Structure 1
Amino acid sequence: MRTGNPIISNLFTADPTVLAWNDTVYLYTGHDEAAYPSATYVMKDWLCFSSKDLATWTAGPHRLKATDFLWAQGDAYASKVIHHKGKFYWYVSVTHSTIEGKAIGVAVANDPLGPFTDARGSALITGHDIHTIDSTGQNFDPTVLVDDNGSAYLFWGKDMCYYAQLGEDMISLQSAVRKISLPGFMEGAHLHKRGEWYYLSYGYGSPEKVGYAMSRSIHGPWEFKGILNELAGNCETNRPAILPFRGKDYFFYHNGGLKDGGSHRRSVCLDYLYYNDDGTMKRVIMTSEGVRPLY
């Protein structure tokens, strides 16, 4: 059994999103395929892995391709998978084939391992849905939270953070798109809730650290709390995923730690996350050893 970081060592993975279901952790990642030493992103699909002990990760039988969304040109950027009312929803960022720029789609499955299929047959968010000077480049890196009352919210963005409430069907918008002003926001948003606090973590600055903000309401105001994760080794980006599992809290991220790795050949890593008594998060200590296997 291999332990330590990166947790997937036979290929390049990035932009983790995680889900705990029936005592198993499901890890969904982007897939970097750029040949060394290319400095261009080549990302055609997303991968799924599962583990019961956080040490042995088994590849799932299905991949979701950007072109499985027939309206998409390609580019499998950061994503988010959630479970809601018996179904699994995979929110993704792709390049649209007929509307200029990036767009957000959503796929659905009855099993966390898939197969996932396009839930709408069209984009959930395009550049037409936001009104900025560069609306074509803003629809990156979706994250979704289902609140305690069952309401679901979608957050996303590049250089500016946007959010909207999802409809009960999870594949439509129920509210107008709103903006959130956050210090140093670049991309890679991740949203989670613990107790009465909402946490919004994201790629901060360039090259990216992970910063985070907290709020008592999903609608804000959001108070910036500082840096959660320092620069990841040999990589200019970072995208966090946070998971409570079996009494501990875990922090997934990516770096350029494998041989020939780098900003365009990244690798998902896993370390512990700890909270202070006031609810703030302690800065993550990135390690080569990673986390201890669960038995």
Structure 2
Amino acid sequence: MKKQSLGALALAVAAACACATDSAGNPLFADKFTADPAVLVDKGRVYLYTGHDEARPKPQDKDFVLNEWLVYSTCDMKNWTAHGTALRYDVFKWSGGSAWASDITKVGNKYYFYATVHDNSTNAKGIGVAVADSPTGPFRDAIGKALITNDMTMETDIAWDDIDPGIFIDDDGTPWLFWGNQTLKFVKLKKNMIAMDGDIQTTSLPHYTEAPYVHKRNGIYYLSYSREFPEHTVYATAKKVTGPWHYRGKIMDQNKKTPTIHQAFAEFNGKSYIFYHNADLPTGDEFRRSVAVEEFKYNADGTIPFIPQTTEGPAANPTAACKK
């Protein structure tokens, strides 16, 4: 009860106060370590959800320490508002911790948040679903148990192969969930967004590691992911969401101070953006990462160019929401 009360108090405080954070470039936020970006564009704003790296500098901590997801928003891609904690892992009462990578989507007037956490029932990573009436929360557990558990997939013998959910809704309204470490897995969801509609499938990609993210543009399906370890970001394309996927090449180089990199794409106010993390804050390291963003332009044939990491980040791109 004490843990739940503290979590509820933290959410209440976050909801009561949103603080402005001006960002002159990358990394976006200097006051906290953030990782594994998830992005939602809604009503003229970009909402950015990140894990919160709370590990102390090495050698004090030698693993990830993540208990919550933070949420920020912007109407111009330059000035960000910090809304505090979107939710903690203990929103899922069946979870024992590990607020790892997530993704989010909006269906109707509801916001569905797909989250990697530790599933106590299998003593392994699993994927839960939380739902809210606002992009900043409060979020609540949508089904009272994990949507994806480790015993559903037997392709590997590791306890962290069911991580990194990526939610994609096709043009016909059909939702698809992609996830997985070492093996890429995907399943069609029912339109209620909280139940599977068919069997879990797998697909083969060159040197696939983790962080699958699917988006669609001009009739082309794009599947980006982290390749090898240390990781760099690559992508494949297809004519159908189920593949077959054709490998296209590297999007972004590996980081220097952390072996992971995790991407999300967004179209906002007529421009294209990729979010990712590095470890470029002064005391950053493998477990103390920082989210950044770059603007890019697709090539004429629809391919994605190689995108360098910059300290400048994108130029301002204000929407009408900035005037409200």
- TM-score with structure 1 length normalisation? 0.97
Q: Residues 212 and 228 of structure 1 are in contact (CA less than 8 Å); yes or no, is this contact kept in structure 2?
A: yes
> Are 1:10 and 2:31 matched, yes or no?
yes
TM superposition shift of 1:55? 1.4
Q: Of 287, 296, 300, which aligns to 1:264?
A: 287
| Structure possessing the higher radius of gyration over alpha carbons | 2
Question: Which ranges of structure 1 fall in alignment gaps of 5 or more residues?
Answer: none
> Are 1:250 and 2:273 matched, yes or no?
yes
> Are 1:49 and 2:72 matched, yes or no?
yes
Q: Residues 250 and 271 of structure 1 are in contact (CA less than 8 Å); yes or no, is this contact kept in structure 2?
A: yes
- With 126-135 and 260-269 compared, the bigger mean Cα shift is at 126-135
Q: Of 259, 266, 285, which aligns to 1:236?
A: 259
TM superposition shift of 1:57? 1.3
2:49 corresponds in structure 1 to 28
Q: What is the distance in 2 between the residues matched to 1:274 and 1:282? A: 8
Q: Of 211, 214, 227, which aligns to 2:250?
A: 227
**Deviation beyond 4 Å, 4+ runs, structure 1:** none
- Show CA shifts across 1:156-187 (max 9, x none): 00011000000111000001000011111111
2:316 is paired with a residue whose SS is: coil
Q: Of 95, 106, 113, which aligns to 1:90?
A: 113
Q: What is the distance in 1 between the residues matched to 2:81 and 2:277? A: 18
Q: What is the distance in 2 between the residues matched to 1:19 and 1:287? A: 22
Q: 1:131 to 1:118 in 2, by over 3 A?
A: same
Q: Residues 177 and 186 of structure 2 are in contact (CA less than 8 Å); yes or no, is this contact kept in structure 1?
A: yes
Q: Residues 255 and 268 of structure 1 are in contact (CA less than 8 Å); yes or no, is this contact kept in structure 2?
A: yes
Q: What is the distance in 2 between the residues matched to 1:240 and 1:164? A: 21
Question: Which ranges of structure 2 fall in alignment gaps of 5 or more residues?
Answer: 1-21, 319-324
1:44 is paired with a residue whose SS is: strand
Q: 1:127 to 1:81 in 2, by over 3 A?
A: same
1:213 partner letter: A
- Show CA shifts across 1:43-80 (max 9, x none): 11111001111111111154311111000010011000
2:8 corresponds in structure 1 to none
1:250 is paired with a residue whose SS is: strand
Pairing 1:160-179 to 2, within 5 Å after superposition: 160-179=183-202
1:185 corresponds in structure 2 to 208
Q: What is the distance in 1 between the residues matched to 2:133 and 2:116? A: 21
Aligned residues between the structures: 295
Q: Of 178, 194, 203, which aligns to 2:217?
A: 194
Q: Of 81, 87, 96, which aligns to 1:73?
A: 96
Q: What is the distance in 1 between the residues matched to 2:156 and 2:266? A: 35
- Show CA shifts across 1:245-295 (max 9, x none): 111100100000001101100000011122111111001121111111223
TM superposition shift of 1:228? 0.7
Q: Residues 70 and 84 of structure 2 are in contact (CA less than 8 Å); yes or no, is this contact kept in structure 1?
A: no
